[in-house]
Structure 1
């Protein structure tokens, strides 16, 4: 989980929308989304099991093990993490691109993935940071969020989802040093393209053991209501939080409505023991299904 950041005043004066879109900027190395498919408004969100989520965490752990024990910015461990996620998305039919930036004299990368179709004037944007700190593999922080996000994207492909809104996903680099990758991306977007993003959804530390409440961001009303309703229906406690402390800050600072959740810090945060064994499969799977449900709800709704 990235450290706190002092928010800037919001600059957007537009009305919030329930669903989201954004065109690719010149800063993103990719083509534009494909032509819109016919929207579907009657799609029930899929439900995944731990067997569909935990293998991604195992893969990130193996990457860290062979690459010096971490997946931090500018390391082979981070580059291999990006390659793993990108290969899965490319195979699933996403249009992927790398957004490049520089931090501490080294090139960093964020991975952007667009699902073809959906209204390009309304983007639902979902993200998580993929990097770890140098002191450990970062499997809960934030391999768990990255795996939940990847599982969500793969379910979009598996179901052949044709949402009303355009869907975009991102795995951010160099977030642990202070949300560098996400802020670089948002900063380079033209104002008109920022305005096409109706909501940004973030997931950070999705599998904390002995999780107490889920910490749900209460900024965008539609996103907050969707997450809160999901957890309430399962008698799972939540705590309402504001913007701060994770990757969504970069979007919130730019006046873009944000939502998302985290399962909170654990005793291995930013340490070598933040391994795959540090993630609770039940919590991770619950978090993933909550994220899938909300993405479906916001992207499919007219």
Structure 2
């Protein structure tokens, strides 16, 4: 499934000098505001944003309001979780080929022990801002873009599994690829992309056909910024799992969780060897202060590039 790339240019009209006001934040500044808002939501709701709680509901309401205002078609999908009734939020462009859908996802819930700002406020904020930036550009995508904010990932990928299982085969066949962003601002960050071609010959093996091309797009985007990446296995720990199980090509980026950074990685990326990528993983200290801003900004740029690329062209599958 390939389509021809298109380009679009948008102009900005200037207000008279007496009417100038500060422009709404975009890009990294706006994504940082999303993280701050998720922190405030957690603080106002018992210190977390776990599925089935008021903190999760407030997080979903915040994200939905931003997407609705930007003109996305949003749907709230209800399902059962350990915490009771909870929800996925799905938002898609009104334009684009509905038979060639590019999905971009991140889980919106935290664990009950903390606000979950790196895990996974960073992924949620990044894909939210990527969606808003794409909409603000004014270009109609050739392919339909669908952004998913999953509930109950921390309970075992419950929301994404429910979504995929409820899709008729005809609708699954329309999904060209799935991009997953789970923890993209780890304080002792690594720069990992999901190993679509299993180039190291280890772990869970390659993803479905097309996954290697996704990995290359992400690696090239990091490479353009002078950042070397390493492959990370499709080990089933995040929301790409249900998609690759039904043969949908997948990929994404990851800055590390409880694993330990090696001396070679510290030399390549900076940070501390022998320490966890995120020492606050699943803990109360996973706050806005736990986010590596440089890593978060770099991932946001890569996500924006991937969205722009796959909005126009998808791997052959």
Could you say whether these structures have the same fold, taking a TM-score greater than 0.5 normalized by the shorter chain as the test? yes
The reply to whether residue 299 of structure 1 matches residue 311 of structure 2 is yes
Quote the residue 1:161 is aligned against: 139
- Unpaired runs of 5+ in structure 1? 1-16, 20-38
Quote the residue 2:217 is aligned against: 226
Q: 1:135 to 1:18 in 2, by over 3 A?
A: farther
Q: 1:82 to 1:50 in 2, by over 3 A?
A: same
Quote the residue 2:102 is aligned against: 124
RMSD: 1.8
Q: Which whole-Å deviations, capped at 9, do the CAs of 1:58-104 have from their partners, x for residues lacking one?
A: 00000000000000010000000000000000000001010111012
The reply to whether residue 246 of structure 1 matches residue 235 of structure 2 is no
Quote the residue 2:153 is aligned against: 175
1:271 pairs with one of 245, 265, 283 = 283
The alignment partner of 1:170 has SS state of strand
The alignment partner of 1:131 has SS state of coil
The question of whether the paired residues in 2 share the 8 Å contact of 1:212 and 1:237 is answered with no
Quote the residue 2:248 is aligned against: 256
- Unpaired runs of 5+ in structure 2? 10-25, 197-206, 258-277
Q: 1:114 to 1:55 in 2, by over 3 A?
A: same
Normalised to the residue count of structure 1, the TM-score between the two structures is 0.84
Shift in Å at residue 151 of structure 1?
Answer: 0.5
Q: Which whole-Å deviations, capped at 9, do the CAs of 1:10-60 have from their partners, x for residues lacking one?
A: xxxxxxx458xxxxxxxxxxxxxxxxxxx961248xxx6431210000000
Which sits farther off after the overlay, 155-164 or 199-208? Answer: 155-164
Structure 1 residues 83-162: aligned runs within 5 Å: 83-104=61-82, 106-162=84-140
Equivalent residues, number: 265
User: Max radius of gyration: which structure?
Assistant: 2
Quote the residue 1:289 is aligned against: 301
Q: 1:171 to 1:301 in 2, by over 3 A?
A: same
The question of whether the paired residues in 1 share the 8 Å contact of 2:145 and 2:311 is answered with yes
Q: Which whole-Å deviations, capped at 9, do the CAs of 1:114-156 have from their partners, x for residues lacking one?
A: 1111111100000000000000000000000000000000011
The question of whether the paired residues in 1 share the 8 Å contact of 2:39 and 2:117 is answered with yes
